[in-house]
Amino acid sequence: MATYLYRLGAFAYRRRRTVAALWALVLAGVIASAVAFGGTTNDKFTVPGTESQQAQELLEQRYPEASGTYARIVFEAPAGESLTDPANKAAVEQTLAQASKAEDVSGVTNPYDPRQNVDAGAKLLKQLIEQYGGDLTRALSAYNAGSASVDRFGGVPPYPETVNYVSSILDDLSTK
């Protein structure tokens, strides 16, 4: 193999103008093909039959104004630090400011603004209560563990955190 590569390299060096011209011809052919046969581009990506595609289609049916229009940015503080440390907080806020200026971004929730967090949580909980026909147990479970888990298990998923979360809130509501 090494001998073959040596011979190829030596040939390319000896005939460098010919090799360069051939590469230029190949490049011109690729560009010409792209122009002639390229067509239009499409930024819609679908994988029929997958759970995520089914979820996307369900969102488009139930919430057409919001379907496909959200993304999450996850921030992680360096080891031994917190996201509330001044330097980390400034970096998060700068990233959020840049994200809010991006094309097709309708809104950004500031994780340091309690009002925005409460409003977003209330909006999501309302949607989940509507989605589950007023069943508060399933809506709270979905709020904590996600709708897919609630649907998969037909109710409260058997996750200790979710079971404790739902029972704690329902207990608090029953005592008031």
Instruction: Kindly state whether residues 9 and 29 are assigned to the same domain.
Output: yes
Q: Render pLDDT for 2-44 as a digit per residue (tens, 0 to 9).
A: 899 999 999 999 999 999 999 999 999 999 998 888 777 666 6
Q: How many domains does the chain have?
A: 3
Give the pLDDT score at 85.
93
Kindly report the pTM of this predicted structure. Answer: 0.46
* Distance of alpha carbon 55 from alpha carbon 126, whole angstroms: 19
- The dihedrals phi and psi of 138, each to the nearest 5 degrees, come to -70, -35
pLDDT confidence band for 158 (50 / 70 / 90): very high
Instruction: Kindly state whether residues 27 and 64 are assigned to the same domain.
Output: no
146 belongs to a structural domain = yes
Give the pLDDT score at 39.
74
Instruction: Kindly state whether residues 170 and 126 are assigned to the same domain.
Output: yes
44 belongs to a structural domain = no
Question: CB-based contacts of 117: which residues, under 8 Å, 6+ apart?
Answer: 109, 111
Range of the domain at 60: 50-109
Instruction: Kindly state whether residues 96 and 132 are assigned to the same domain.
Output: no
Instruction: Kindly state whether residues 84 and 105 are assigned to the same domain.
Output: yes
Selected residue with higher pLDDT from 117 and 85:
85
87, 109, 131 — which closes off a domain? 109
Give the pLDDT score at 163.
93
Average pLDDT score over the chain: 84
* Distance of alpha carbon 148 from alpha carbon 155, whole angstroms: 10
Instruction: Kindly state whether residues 118 and 161 are assigned to the same domain.
Output: yes
Tokens 């011979």, residue located: 7
Give the pLDDT score at 71.
64
* Distance of alpha carbon 14 from alpha carbon 115, whole angstroms: 71
43 belongs to a structural domain = no
Q: Render pLDDT for 53-94 as a digit per residue (tens, 0 to 9).
A: 676 677 666 655 554 455 667 788 899 999 899 999 999 999
42 belongs to a structural domain = no
**What is the share, in percent, of the chain residues with pLDDT greater than 90?**
39
* Distance of alpha carbon 115 from alpha carbon 31, whole angstroms: 53
Burial zone of 157 (CB within 10 Å; 0-12 exposed, 13-18 middle, 19+ buried) = buried
Instruction: Kindly state whether residues 98 and 120 are assigned to the same domain.
Output: no
